[in-house]
Amino acid sequence: MILSNDAIQHNMPEVRTVAVVLNWRSADDTIRCVTSLLYIDRPLDIIVVDNDSGDGSLSRIRLALAEVASSAGVSLQDNLSEPRYLLNKRRALVFVDSGRNGGYAFGNNVGIGLALQQAATAYVWILNADTVVPAAQTLDALIARMDEDITIGLCGATVAYLGLNDTVQTRGGGRFEQWRSRSMPIGAGERTDAPVDINAIETELAYINGAATFARRAFIETVGLMSEDYFLYFEEFDWARQGRKAFRLGYAPKALVLHQVGGSIGTDDFGASSALSTFYLTRNRIKFLARHFPRCLPVAVVDEVIALIRNWRRGQIPQARARLRALTGRCYNG
């Protein structure tokens, strides 16, 4: 029997994307982010993972999104005891309590694992809670770039500053400058509509901005989940590095994501980092280099000691102490 094209399409599983949004005491940001996703009229499921906020975030988020989800034809599902969600013709919005604050990679891995239980999941879209997706064309552009080149495992968007919507934070992600032992964002400060050379950017890419990472299912199944021992920062760089032999990194310039930057940890791109972010940036820079670029460690340590002295001279005592604790292998103590 020869099946018609319509019959073949009817019997084929629908290719879907699952967005994973991690919440930790940032209910307002998460509500804003997920609301923007609910308005995307595409086969897009959404998983909200709460990393044991302990402040009622999950209940508040669910209540706030119920009406919007209903009007968008999205079914609400609670995943508090059974590690699965129901795939149906309607899009799903799933709420998950991870059970503990195990950090960025841990919480996102919970969502990724849940997403991959569905055979129809082709892509997992990891989004920070403090991001907003302004249009469905962002998702379309990411999928189109992935379809153009099946060797792309992770793809980045044009991430711009929320409130400065025409100013780029990163084009895809960043490069790694070995002589400085430091990663640097690509395209920072440029206008979002500036002409770009996609091939040049993709050649430079060493990691995809973790605020908006679009991952191919095959990449996750081949490379595995993100390393959870960083807790905060460098997970996306480590993930990209682990997959470099089997996959390349991509950039979809027409995919626009707006990012508030650092809302939950008290830091941004325009001022002094908080003590918390200083600690994890320092500790994980050393950890990452030791794992992947050990020859760069001496330069990085000298650089961090100079930064510590600078913190001290500027009266940034909490940051100086946090950096010192990171360099000496001690835990963060607030």
177-206, pLDDT tens digit by residue?
988 899 999 999 999 999 999 999 999 999
What percentage of residues in the chain have a pLDDT greater than 90? 82
pTM (two decimals) = 0.92
- Identify the CA nearest to 47 among candidates 120, 124, 122: 124
Q: Taking 90 as the threshold, does the pLDDT of residue 153 lie above it? A: yes
φ, ψ dihedrals at 133, nearest 5°: -105, 110
Tokens of 224: 């595995």
Q: What is the DSSP letter of 73?
A: T
E strands within the chain? Answer: 16-23, 44-50, 74-79, 91-97, 121-128, 131-132, 152-161, 164-171, 173-177, 182-185, 207-208, 212-216, 248-259
The confidence band for 3, taking pLDDT boundaries of 50, 70 and 90, is: very low
Residue that the structure tokens 């079914």 belong to: 75
Contact 258, 161 (CB under 8 A): yes
Q: Taking 80 as the threshold, does the pLDDT of residue 268 lie above it? A: no
Q: Taking 70 as the threshold, does the pLDDT of residue 10 lie above it? A: no
φ, ψ dihedrals at 139, nearest 5°: -65, -40
The confidence band for 4, taking pLDDT boundaries of 50, 70 and 90, is: very low
Q: What is the pLDDT of residue 2?
A: 36
Cα separation, 95 vs 72, whole angstroms: 17
Q: What is the pLDDT of residue 77?
A: 86
Contacts (Cβ under 8 Å, ≥6 apart) of 100: 51, 52, 106
pLDDT tens digits for range 306-332: 999 999 999 999 999 999 999 999 998
Lowest mean pLDDT, pick from 5-19, 25-39, 89-103, 142-156: 5-19
Cα separation, 48 vs 110, whole angstroms: 10
The confidence band for 78, taking pLDDT boundaries of 50, 70 and 90, is: confident
